[in-house]
Amino acid sequence: MAAGLAEDRSARLMTAGLDICLLAMIAERDRYGYELIKNLESEGLRLVKEGSVYPMLRRMEKEGLIESRVAPSTDGPPRKYYRILPRGDELLVAWANGFIEFTDSVRGILERRMNLDPPPTPDDRQSA
């Protein structure tokens, strides 16, 4: 039962940062939905499913953060590509800064109270 609770908590935590991750990936270049899902998985967000990504993309489009266009695909049916809009760029910066500040605070609390080792810094990795 504890494993199920931990997995549920992980899924909820990932969903909280999913908007930021999606916007950041779309800001790099136009992307289609399945590509976004695969990119999230390759970055370690394996619990992310289509059922959560596509509704978020639709919501972000309604909010004027991104826009979509359909383009032909050489690998099958046409694909819906998403592009970030200026309002999305502005919010991405604000959300990212707030999220990083929040996660740094959470990390500090957990490290102090649970005797966790801090993550390695880039300098630590180079000297290893």
Give the domain CATH number at 19.
1.10.10.10
Q: What is the CA radius of gyration of the chain?
A: 17
Confirm whether pTM is higher than 0.85.
no
Domain carrying residue 29: 9-118
User: Which pLDDT value is given to residue 1?
Assistant: 44
125 in any annotated domain? no
Six token digits for residue 30: 């136009």
Six token digits for residue 5: 């609770």
Tell me the average confidence (pLDDT) per consecutive run of 10 residues in the chain, 128 residues long: 58 74 96 94 81 91 97 91 96 90 86 74 62
3 in any annotated domain? no
Q: Where are the alpha helices (DSSP H) in the chain?
A: 2-28, 33-42, 50-62, 86-114, 122-127
User: Which pLDDT value is given to residue 36?
Assistant: 95
Q: Closest Cα partner for 39 from 54, 56, 22?
A: 22
Phi, psi of 65 (to 5 degrees): -90, -30
User: Which pLDDT value is given to residue 4?
Assistant: 59
Helix (H) or strand (E) holding 73, with range, is strand 66-73
Domain count, the chain: 1
71 in any annotated domain? yes
